[in-house]
Amino acid sequence: MHILFIGDVIGKPGREVLTAELPALRENLKLDFVIVNGENLAGGFGVTRNIANEMFALGVDCITTGNHWLDQREILTFIGDEDRVLRPCNLPPGTPGRGANLFQAKNGAHVLVINPLGRVFMEPQDDPFAAVERELAACPLGEGADAVVVDMHAEATSEKMAMGHFCDGRASLVVGSHSHVPTADAQILPGGTAYQTDAGACADYDSVIGMEKFEPVQRFTRKIPGGRFSPATGPATLCGVFVETAANGFAERIEPVRVGGRLKQTMPAV
């Protein structure tokens, strides 16, 4: 199976590069399943129903989120019955929506997607490791699911790496999101799980993690907020992770994907 995970899509520039590049990626990489982290889709903060539908029309199969999942309160009007949009799986009981779901891929295989939220340097939530353990136990790789993907939305690289090893041998891919910068550690762990600490973002990289430079720089240098963050509007780079799995659901191959914009381009050959 061929799976593409696309990192945090930052506002309109991120949506535009996704619109421009995803159709060709689907064809050239022979993709069976596409996941997009969409917590920054709407102006850099949250996701709306209309934008989610735009993503699905492009061929996105699942939208994961993170700590900004509730920034657009509109999400509460549709996340309860739109099971293609996930919110973090380790939020308190009774939170609307779901943090994991089993999907049917284009090739008929079943893909479990789990969306934990880290706790280090972030607002603490329930234990993400315990939440992931529950989902893996309920739908094991090779039994309930043909592939398992974990989007570990977290600040600390150590917490993301720990989740990778925690899931090794039980997931097809553990990939980090939230940092908005693609890491150079794509690998297959000893138990057969593909791993990358952060997929990066779909954003203009002449920026501070996808946002216009002035306001973040002012906050760092003067410690005085001057306004809201807004997405940088230059040409964006689509950043993601491509994984090929074997019949047993474990990874045979993991490669980064970067197309468009300023970053060095890299595209797997299929």
Domains of the chain by residue range: 2-259
One of 1.10.3720.10, 3.40.50.720, 3.40.50.2300, 3.60.21.10 is the CATH number of 2-259, namely 3.60.21.10
How far apart, in whole angstroms, are the C-alpha atoms of residue 152 and residue 141? 18
Grade residue 220 by pLDDT with cuts at 50, 70 and 90: very high
Buried-state track 221-242, b at ≥16 Cβ within 10 A, e below 16: eeeeeeeebebbeeebbbbbbb
* CA 178 to chain CA mean position, Å: 8
How far apart, in whole angstroms, are the C-alpha atoms of residue 186 and residue 59? 25
- Catalytically annotated residues: 68
Predicted local confidence at residue 215, as pLDDT: 95
Place of tokens 């807004």: 230
Q: What is the mean pLDDT of the chain?
A: 97
* CA 41 to chain CA mean position, Å: 12
Grade residue 159 by pLDDT with cuts at 50, 70 and 90: very high
CB 226 within 8 A of CB 247: no
Predicted local confidence at residue 164, as pLDDT: 98
pLDDT of residue 227 exceeding 90: no
pLDDT digits (tens, 9 = 90+) for 65-104: 999 999 999 999 999 999 999 999 999 999 999 999 999 9
Grade residue 247 by pLDDT with cuts at 50, 70 and 90: very high
How far apart, in whole angstroms, are the C-alpha atoms of residue 95 and residue 76? 10
Predicted local confidence at residue 224, as pLDDT: 87
pLDDT digits (tens, 9 = 90+) for 94-136: 999 999 999 999 999 999 999 999 999 999 899 999 999 999 9
